[in-house]
Chain A
Amino acid sequence: MPALRIRTEVGPEQLSFAPGGSVADILRATPYPVRQPCGGRGRCGGCRVRVTEGTTGDLTVTERRYLSSEQVRNGTRLACQLIPAADLTVEIIDQAVAWRELRDDEYAPVSPPSVPPVLSAVPAGLGVAVDLGTTEIRVTLWDTVRGRRLGGCTGPNPQSAFGADVLSRLGTASWTGEDAAIIGRVARDAIGDAIGYVLRRAHLDRSDVGRVVIVGNTAMLALLTECGYDALLEPDNWAREIDCPVPDAGAWVRSWGLPSGTRVVVARSLAGFVGSDLLADVLATGMTQRSAKTLLIDFGTNSEIAVWDGTTLWVTSTPGGPAFEGCGTDFGVPAEAGAVYRVRPLAGSDGFDCDAIGDQPPRGLCGSALVDVVACLVRDGRLKKTGNFAREIGDDGVVVVGGEPELVLRKRDVDAFQRAKAAIGAGTRCLLEEAGVPSSGLERVCVCGAFGRSLDVPNAQWVGLLPGGVCLERFEMWGNAALAGCELLLLAPEGVTALDRARSNARLVNLARVPMFDDRFVESLYLEPARETRMTEGEPA
């Protein structure tokens, strides 16, 4: 059998393969998977490898589209497109497991808990909080005795290779038991890897870790524990609690190289479509501990929405797709170095002024920048509220950033944006209507999710992503609130009690069964401020 050779941290590795699959396929079940932001469909250009030795076929149309001439010259290819027939040596550019430290601005702005943590709850001094997201995994390391964060990292969830969104990943897992085992393992390995990364950065030893707490959406927890993932494909189970117990904590802890007594807690979900990540958001923002009427939106590949009316917590979730996490559009990137996160119109021209993370040359646009671009173009009339460009622009789209790579907003990107924002806009309206809370009556709006802290609220309101009629000072930008909530669970045992209270006060709303959802969705496709929620007497809920 021919072999694929790669260079890894620990030296060269040789992987034999049966010809027919792509380089991405060959790497998928190894410890060295390549990133697949679009799920391997050739829609993102995010799985680059460089061929250093061996012969390959011609570039595919997809590769010609995503790779610059410079990249083509130095042997760069896309792993999902490159199908080797003979021995090949490659260097993986877009590694699936590539951790980086979390920046200060990525943490939710919460102070550590005022109550000193109870020592007896944590046998050793170090604790780890894990937010297992569909697209990204975030991990922080804590000195639980002093209540101090020692470090944190983020990296892509390598399960993306098995489907970009929750349902396609659940579908793959349910197709064969073998895949389910691999999908579970790659997530567990990634968590172990991330724990190793933060410990190394903090110059600390694995032997001091005593507790690991994991939150996530229900599908991620089911795939992690290899428990109940097939039940999640049945709509009847979406509103039921899906139990995802850790099957063998000892084995997990061993594979992570942690002491045998380490406690692993997978925080319980609320229901099939509302995970413990939303509960962690609720905990971090303290929304149920005050009387203020609150809307919370956690933007992600799967977005969760919650409304607190003062006595009841109304919750739902809506699969808007990964457009806000930097996938699903041609130029989308996660919020990493080189990602443009803010865009303003450049005075006196039709160009744009861009801020990129880490002052690097712009590599792509992350979700918050996409909102800015669309809002700017709608404001200046180049984009119509229907999602069509003005006639003089035609279908070539608008150049947002010139140069190499040129970042162009095309109509299909606008369509992806419209669908994602309509799912959230319609979900928000339906939930507010079900709860009987008009958007003008909201006293707090908590915006959570990776892009949350750099999102421009007026722009988001202008295109109908966030509810209108709410003044600016009522918006709170939380960023990774689910991670913050997970940290509270790690540090303060009373968090669990608060969580249980929130759970028992919760009312689930399955949007698929809300008769008005489709109409709200279509209305929300338009790029215009969201309409005021209607609370007409007698209108069926």
Chain B
Amino acid sequence: MTDEITIEETIKGYNEAIFDTDRDRALEVVHEALASGMTPEDIVFKVVLPAMDQMIKAISEAFDTNLAQHYMTAQIADSVVTEMIPKFKQAPEVAGRVVIGSAEGDLHSLGKRIVIGCLRARMIEVTDLGVNVSPARFVDEAVAHGASVIGVSAMMVHTARGPNGSLGVRRILKERGLEDRIKIIVGGAPYRYDHELYKTVGADAWAEDGVTAGGVIAGLAEEVPT
């Protein structure tokens, strides 16, 4: 049994490890806290999720984070939460259901992986549809999984703006009368250069980066009645 570790010390240690993208150190901090008696619930809700929100805040205030940090924030949070949930006294409620994929013609998957890690850490059920996903498949899978949000990632201008990306998903949602039940969020480089582009392609929201997207999607999932 180690000495008593305060929650402040754990938060500080975990945040430093995240800033340094040091996965081993982050896991060590978490395990030390567990060993000293902190509950898995506190680790998730008082340490891991606030660290993610703090990263979002840092990103929005200034460009002082980088891709490696975003990626590791998501991966570390995901692995810690995955490890903690089975230790919870009571299984947590699913905070929402989301399907996510890269637009048709787009094979980029890194940004999507960051989003997925962040969503899992937030206890949102995510179905990864992979890359090069057609608009019809986005909608079919969303319906099949009871998802309230469709995430369409597009790293290239033509896959972001083209008719088989978000625009196609919007068209099918409209045709099938699903617009009240399913929201669309987009993300990827083209949206960073044109902050109004998400409206042009019929999306309900966009996010600057994968970590921020986790927060935005969690908000959207709460809005939509399931």
List residues of A whose CB falls within 8 A of some B CB.
41, 163, 167-168, 170-172, 174-175, 233-235, 384, 386-388, 395, 411-412, 414-415, 418-419, 512-513, 518, 521-522, 525-526
Contacts and interface: CB of A to CB of B under 8 A. Distances in A.
Contact of B105 (A172, A235, A395, A522): A235
Contacts of A163: 157
Interface stretch (B45-53, B61-69, B84-92): B61-69
Nearest to B19: A388
A508 B107 CA distance: 17
6 nearest CB pairs, A to B: A512-B107, A171-B157, A171-B158, A415-B66, A525-B68, A395-B64
Given A171-B161, A521-B110, A522-B71, A414 B105 contact: no
B: contact size bracket: 20 to 34
14 contacts: A163-B157, A168-B156, A235-B105, A235-B106, A235-B132, A386-B21, A386-B68, A387-B68, A387-B69, A395-B62, A411-B66, A418-B67, A512-B108, A522-B71
B179 interface: no
A517 to B, nearest CB: 9
Contacts of B109: 518
Contacts of A167: 156-158
Contact of B110 (A414, A513, A518): A518
Contacts of B158: 167, 170-171, 174-175, 233
Nearest to B113: A518
Contacts of B156: 167-168, 171, 233
Contact of A384 (B20, B63, B110): B20
Contacts, number: 67
Interface in B99-114: 105-110, 113
A233 B66 CA distance: 28
A412 B63 CA distance: 7
A131 to B, nearest CB: 25
Contacts of A171: 156-158, 161
Contact of B68 (A234, A512, A522): A522
B110 A522 contact: yes
Given A167-B157, A170-B158, A411 B64 contact: yes
Contacts of B62: 395
B68 A235 contact: no
Given A167-B156, A234-B105, A521-B110, A526 B64 contact: no
Given A387-B69, A418-B67, A513-B107, 12 more contacts: A163-B157, A167-B156, A167-B158, A233-B158, A386-B68, A387-B66, A388-B19, A411-B63, A418-B68, A512-B107, A522-B68, A525-B67
Nearest to A414: B66
B57 to A, nearest CB: 14
Nearest to A235: B107
Nearest to B194: A41
Contacts of B68: 386-387, 418, 522, 525-526
Interface in B143-159: 156-158
B110 A233 contact: no
A435 B67 CA distance: 29
A170 B106 CA distance: 14
A384 B68 CA distance: 12
Interface in B28-87: 62-64, 66-69, 71
Contacts of B157: 163, 167-168, 171-172
A278 B211 CA distance: 37
Contacts of A387: 66, 68-69
B163 to A, nearest CB: 12
Contact of B20 (A388, A412, A415): A388
Among B68, B106, B161, the most chain A Cβ lie within 10 Å of the Cβ of B68
A336 to B, nearest CB: 26
A522 B71 CA distance: 8
A468 B119 CA distance: 37
Nearest to A387: B66
Nearest to B20: A386
B113 A41 contact: no
A305 to B, nearest CB: 18
Contact of B69 (A170, A174, A235, A386): A386
Contacts of B110: 518, 521-522
Contacts of B20: 384, 386, 388
Nearest to B155: A167
Nearest to B66: A415
A273 to B, nearest CB: 11
A411 B105 CA distance: 32
Contacts of A235: 105-107, 132
A416 to B, nearest CB: 9
A388 B16 CA distance: 12
A415 B132 contact: no
A279 to B, nearest CB: 24
